Amino acid sequence: MDIETLRRKIDELDRQLVALISERAAAAQEIGRLKRATDLPVYEPNRERVIFENVRTHNPGPLPDSELVHIYERIVDVMRALQRNELASRPGTPATGAAQNQTGKAK
């Protein structure tokens, strides 16, 4: 394949990734609504460990596990922010619940 063909392939893959990330974000927002309704915390370290283990287990390469997990750490941070926004929509409730730093983790 030439470079232009590979770039078109990357562009198509990027469009697919955007669609999937948007779908993931919608699911995260719904989880935020459920957390708001049930008073669950936004930051759930055990769930995040499960996500990262799932990523490592299903990684076919060529990215090393550590790099793919790094990408997912950022995705999870963004999704957590969406959930905080869902919690913030509750009248009279602080957006972060307990004191949290920028990643949503308790201080």
Instruction: Write out the two tokens for 36.
Output: 């708001």
89 or 96: which carries more pLDDT confidence? 89
Q: Is residue 101 part of a domain?
A: no
What pTM was computed for the model? 0.77
- What are the pLDDT digits (tens) for 27-46? 999 999 998 899 899 999 99
Could you tell me the CATH number of the domain that includes residue 82? 1.20.59.10
Type of residue numbered 89: S
Cβ 81 vs Cβ 19: under 8 Å: no
Q: Which domain holds residue 50?
A: 3-88
Q: What is the pLDDT of residue 5?
A: 98
Instruction: Write out the two tokens for 52.
Output: 């990262």
Into how many domains does the chain fold? 1
Q: Is residue 67 part of a domain?
A: yes
Q: Is residue 84 part of a domain?
A: yes
Decide: residue 77, CB within 10 A, 0-12 exposed, 13-18 middle, 19+ buried.
Answer: middle
Q: Is residue 45 part of a domain?
A: yes
Type of residue numbered 67: E
Q: Is residue 106 part of a domain?
A: no
Q: Is residue 100 part of a domain?
A: no
Q: Is residue 46 part of a domain?
A: yes
Q: Is residue 97 part of a domain?
A: no
Instruction: Write out the two tokens for 15.
Output: 């469009």
